[in-house]
Amino acid sequence: MRSPSLHRSRIQGSIAGLAVGDALGYPAEFRTRSQLQREIGLEGITGFLRLKDPRFTRPFILGPDHPPGTFTDDTQMSLCVAEALVAAGHTDRDTLMQEMARRFVQWHHSEDNNRAPGETTGIACGRLAAGVPWREAGVPHSKGCGANMRVAPIGLYYEDLDTVCEVARDSSRLTHGHPAALEGSAAAALLVALALRDVPPEQMHAEVMRRCGGRSPDFDACFSRVPTLIAHPPEEVLIDREKGPHALGEGWVAEEAVACALYCFWRHPDDYRAAVLEAVNTDGDSDSLATITGSVSGARVGVEGIPSEWVSEVEHSARLLELGGLLADARLRVR
């Protein structure tokens, strides 16, 4: 049986890990790998940068500048999920989703929502605010990765893996209703839950396919390919699917984001820094890829396995660690 201190470290590591990955990836979003190497250095991004670093040329990310270590809506919404779980406790699903929806709407209307949130999430939050039931609020045909990048707390909170998948799917329904979004959410939460249990990456993939396969052709077609691509370098894999035979995609949609995150983690299962920076320095949705990768890697290596300067310098560091501790305490109480 794992000691309470190690258990706590891993849950805190997942929460801190997703935020650190998110903050590292924020300035990279919409920029190509080659552009990052040309403008920042041959290794690309290797630490926190201000959002509008003067070395960057186009494209310019809209909105205000943010200092190094600032995370995006990916972490903000993950914190909403975590806080809803802690506040609602192990109650019925409807109560939990209403609590989660309330926090999403509150965040959506707050001053903090100035970090390029997804259009689908904004539409759904508007519906939730207008009183649309949570099961009906999500955009039916949207499979953007906005539902997948926020579900790590679900994988940390529940012991039962069936419950992890069911709650993650329901959380997707608040904003994204496409089957690939539902299964991508279940898969992302499940990867965190399995990393917490020290399940090897190959078995993690098999378990996700067993529990999530057969529900979405889009998800199955992308995620099933991950094991065959581990030996291929990221410049061949983390690119648009039309650009090469080994490409998994850029991560803008659900199935690509989760598949790419597992690819990064699988290649570096015991090295948080290497896994997350591989996710950051890509052509696509770098912050979301690094958020999901960071949540999985952090759950495996614990908070001590993340570079200490990143943990201390990421935005709201103390709050992240405190919330991770609350999740750990809540999980232990129901074991």
- Cα distance between residue 146 and residue 184, in whole Å: 10
How confident is residue 1, by pLDDT bands cut at 50, 70 and 90? very low
In this prediction the pTM is 0.97
pLDDT band per the 50, 70, 90 thresholds, residue 7: confident
Q: Which tens digits make up the pLDDT trace of 90-101?
A: 889 999 999 999
Is 73 known to sit in a ligand binding site? yes
pLDDT at residue number 244: 94
**Residue 84 in this model has a pLDDT that exceeds 70:** yes
Condensed to tens digits (0 to 9), the pLDDT of residues 179-192 reads: 999 999 999 999 99
Angle at which helix 93-108 crosses helix 119-129, to 10 degrees, equals: 110
Average pLDDT, the chain: 95
Mean pLDDT lowest for which of 37-46, 87-96, 312-321? 87-96
Both ends of the chain: CA-CA distance in Å? 12
Determine whether the annotation assigns residue 288 to a binding site: yes
Q: Spell out the residues 6+ positions from residue 20 whose beta carbon is closer than 8 angstroms to its own.
A: 276, 294, 298, 306, 310, 311, 314
74 known member of a binding site? yes
At 333 the pLDDT is: 66
> Is the pLDDT confidence value at 201 over 70?
yes
Cα separation of 128 and 122, whole Å? Answer: 10
State pLDDT tens for residues 243-252: 999 999 999 9
228 appears as a binding residue in the annotation: no
Helices and strands in the chain, H and E counts? 18, 0
pLDDT tens column, 138-156: 999 999 999 999 999 999 9
CATH number at residue 14: 1.10.4080.10
Residue 167's domain comprises 4-59+66-333
Residues 71-92 have a mean pLDDT of 95
Which residues have a Cβ under 8 Å from the Cβ of 211 and sit 6 or more positions away?
161, 162, 165, 186, 190
Answer whether residue 271 shows pLDDT above 80: yes
Q: How many structural domains comprise the chain?
A: 1
Rounded to whole angstroms, the Cα distance separating 185 from 74 reads: 13
pLDDT at 295 (0 to 100): 98
Three-class SS of residue 139?
strand
Share of the chain above pLDDT 90, in %: 91
State residue 109 phi and psi, 5-degree precision: -95, 5
